Amino acid sequence: MLRPLPLAAALAVLASPVAADPLSDVVSRHLAWRGGAAFEALTSVHQQGRVEAAGLTGTVDAWTDRKGEARQDVDLGAVRELTAVTAADAWTRNMSGQIEDLDAHMADDARDGAALMFAGALHGEGGAKLNLLPAETLDGRSWSVVRVNFGDPDTYDLFLDPKTGALHALRAVENKRTRIVRYGDWRMVDGVRMAFFESSENENAAANAKVVYGKIELNRAPAAELFQRPADEATYAFANGASGTGWVDFDFFNANRIYIPAAVNGTPVQVLLDSGAEATVLDKPFAEKLGLKTVGELPAEGTGGSSTAALATGVDVVIGDMTLKNLTVAIIDLSEVEKRIGRPMPVILGKEAFNQLAVDIDFQGHRIAFHDPARLVPPAGAVAVPVKEVGGLRAVEVSVEGRSPVLLDFDIGNGSPLLLYKSFWEPQKLLDGRPTSKALAGAIGGAREQGTTTVKTLKFGGVEFHDIPTVLSTPGAAAVDSDRTFGNLGLPVISRFRLITDYPKDTLYLVPQADAAAKPFDKDRSGLQVVAQGDRLKVAYVAPGSPAQAAGWKAGEEITAVDGHTIGADYNGSELSKWRTGEAGRTVDLTLADGTKRKLKLATYF
């Protein structure tokens, strides 16, 4: 939830020496301004200072080596994050103290940041290349802009004084997210000009940060142990010497959400299991009920956009005989998400439940078990599928309509079968000649209008699925905008297997159900998105090109009965609630709040 702070100052990069031209002139002035020969000889940087981020204050201690090694330790009191990258390894410690692999993209980001701190990048170290962009105005001044690229979609734009070569700011675009880092309080340290102040401006203001360095040391060799991966201490414990929980029954709400009986700090509660949550989340009223003290305001991204979250420490989650100990959790008002899902959501249990454990989910039996992964024996006939670390979460390879497999986020918390990002569907021309519509989709961060269509085939875990209702993401600052994964695989697909996750071994074990491929997916054929409100359904959205639009339905209208059955408190998740996904050609009788009645003939419209 808290993104690593920028790895200090950035430099322009030149692929190889060239004859004098505007680009090399700008770079040469910058090199001279940074310190000339002393800067060229720079081999390591050690920075210590104070940081303000997420409404918290604390310390930062960062080491960067010209070989591409980097370590950053940020201590904000309630949150301490540690990240280290070498040529052979990359790891991070999350908010709850678990050690995780840093995915290849994030490791490359860190290595790129390290390369940008040294003059060697000007000679092509790290595969860096640059271009001189048109001059831009930033903070009321015109700057020369040098774009640095390391061979991937990410870019780093350096704003340099056209006369002196002084570095004013860096604009970094990583995984389609933009931040601007401004530098100040430049001082000479051993002949090299270094910035003792930096501030970062992000798309989500909650991610903004300021750093004031009190100490910068150059050319001091860091101790090798600084970069060694620490032991991953268990954040879980089983009672009475057990190695697992045994089976725990869960409520498979609406056949697309897993609610598990648990206790949080001693209070019984149903928790929603969500492998797509980067941290466990407590609803704000529930956190207040527990008396948790919250601090800070961190950025939070969901499928609906960006939001903010407070933090609380010292949270224990008990499921059966297992305790997840001393978690640091996010606190968010989940009331709008609850309305869309149709059930209270006091707790979202995130990836901390998966990182160190083997999790066995029997969807047909509606039961789950948590195991010590060292004692896991996969069931006979299970298909082993790699699950990769990407962006702090996990992703799996999936083939869409026979195309080469691409990485999709592995998301047990997604109640829809499939979501595809624009970075996939647009270049693949997936929509050409294909019926489409729109829907409101999202969770944390709100709901927003996104496209809908039907994917003909999808292959995952050795099974080919057919006619999959699919959400098409629109660009924006959300967890559904990426060029590192290309979509999101949701629970209606995943639940067609017996599933065992073994994150410590980066593996899923899948046993397909007998009807996994043949069973049709639920699909809306009404065009009405409704929200249950007491004794009525309020129309939240009318899909373009749908039967409801053709019949003249409008958002805000209220339904009090379906086929003569009144709407009650038990509507959500009931058989009655499935009327929208009935067979094409069926006619549904709907009674409105004013007593009028309408007939709606269901049809396939996307």
pLDDT digits (tens, 9 = 90+) for 425-443: 999 999 999 999 999 987 6
190-225: b (≥16 Cβ within 10 Å) or e: eebbbbbebbbebebebbbbbbebeebebeeebeee
Mean pLDDT rounded to a whole number for the chain = 93
pLDDT greater at residue 574 or residue 7: 574
Helices (H), 41-163: 104-115
Percentage of the chain with pLDDT > 70? 94
How far apart (Å, rounded) are the C-alpha atoms in residues 464 and 470? 15
The burial of 277, by beta-carbon neighbours within 10 Å (0-12 exposed, 13-18 middle, 19 or more buried), is given as: buried
Where does the pLDDT of residue 479 fall: very low under 50, low under 70, confident under 90, or very high at 90 and above?
A: low
What pLDDT sits at residue 19? 41
Architecture of domain 528-601: Roll (2.30)
Element (H, E) at 205: none
Tokens of 295: 């601090």
Lowest mean pLDDT, pick from 387-401, 429-443, 467-481: 467-481
Where does the pLDDT of residue 122 fall: very low under 50, low under 70, confident under 90, or very high at 90 and above?
A: confident
In the predicted model, is pLDDT for residue 206 greater than 90?
A: no
Among 49, 14, 54, CA closest to 185: 49
What pLDDT sits at residue 9? 33
What pLDDT sits at residue 7? 33
Residue 422, φ and ψ in degrees, nearest 5? -60, -30
Query: pLDDT digit string (tens) for 535-572?
Result: 999 999 999 999 999 999 999 999 999 999 999 999 99
- Helix (H), strand (E), coil (C) string for 29-46: HHHHHHCCHHHHCCCEEE
Answer for the pair 105, 118: CB distance below 8 angstroms, yes or no.
no
What pLDDT sits at residue 478? 54
How far apart (Å, rounded) are the C-alpha atoms in residues 576 and 597? 17
In the predicted model, is pLDDT for residue 27 greater than 90?
A: yes
How far apart (Å, rounded) are the C-alpha atoms in residues 66 and 45? 9
What pLDDT sits at residue 529? 98
In the predicted model, is pLDDT for residue 177 greater than 60?
A: yes
Where does the pLDDT of residue 6 fall: very low under 50, low under 70, confident under 90, or very high at 90 and above?
A: very low
Q: Mention every residue, 6+ apart, whose C-beta is less than 8 A from residue 379.
A: 498, 500, 509, 511
What pLDDT sits at residue 589? 99
Tokens of 100: 């995780």
164-178: b (≥16 Cβ within 10 Å) or e: ebbbbbbbbebbbbe
The burial of 289, by beta-carbon neighbours within 10 Å (0-12 exposed, 13-18 middle, 19 or more buried), is given as: middle
What pLDDT sits at residue 126? 80
How far apart (Å, rounded) are the C-alpha atoms in residues 44 and 221? 7
104-131: b (≥16 Cβ within 10 Å) or e: ebbbbbbbbbbbbbbbbbbeeebebbbe
What pLDDT sits at residue 164? 97
Helices (H), 377-494: 422-425, 491-494
In the predicted model, is pLDDT for residue 386 greater than 80?
A: yes
What pLDDT sits at residue 15? 33
pLDDT greater at residue 20 or residue 232: 232
User: So what CATH class is 373-512?
Assistant: mainly beta
CB atoms within 10 A of CB 371: 21
Residue 149, φ and ψ in degrees, nearest 5? -140, 140
What pLDDT sits at residue 447? 80
Mean pLDDT of 177-192: 98
Shared fold status for 236-371 and 373-512:
yes
Widest pairwise Cα distance in the chain:
84
In the predicted model, is pLDDT for residue 71 greater than 90?
A: yes
Where does the pLDDT of residue 448 fall: very low under 50, low under 70, confident under 90, or very high at 90 and above?
A: confident
The pTM of the whole model exceeds 0.85: yes
What pLDDT sits at residue 18? 38
How far apart (Å, rounded) are the C-alpha atoms in residues 357 and 372? 6
What pLDDT sits at residue 121? 78
How far apart (Å, rounded) are the C-alpha atoms in residues 56 and 324? 26
Tokens of 551: 């019949």
Query: pLDDT digit string (tens) for 237-294?
Result: 999 999 999 999 999 999 999 999 999 999 999 999 999 999 999 999 999 999 999 9
Answer for the pair 530, 546: CB distance below 8 angstroms, yes or no.
no
In the predicted model, is pLDDT for residue 16 greater than 80?
A: no
In the predicted model, is pLDDT for residue 73 greater than 70?
A: yes
Return the domain boundaries, the chain. 22-227, 236-371, 373-512, 528-601
Q: Mention every residue, 6+ apart, whose C-beta is less than 8 A from residue 378.
A: 384, 500, 509
What pLDDT sits at residue 299? 79
- Tell me the pairing of strands 155-160 and 167-174: antiparallel
What pLDDT sits at residue 123? 78
Mean pLDDT of 369-392: 96
Domain spanning 236-371 has what CATH number?
2.40.70.10
Answer for the pair 395, 408: CB distance below 8 angstroms, yes or no.
yes
Q: CA distances (Å), 283 to each of 33, 309, 329, in order?
A: 51, 10, 10
In the predicted model, is pLDDT for residue 303 greater than 70?
A: no
Residue 265, φ and ψ in degrees, nearest 5? 50, 40
In the predicted model, is pLDDT for residue 298 greater than 70?
A: yes
- 22-227 CATH fold: outer membrane lipoprotein receptor (LolB), chain A (2.50.20)
What pLDDT sits at residue 474? 82
CB atoms within 10 A of CB 149: 18
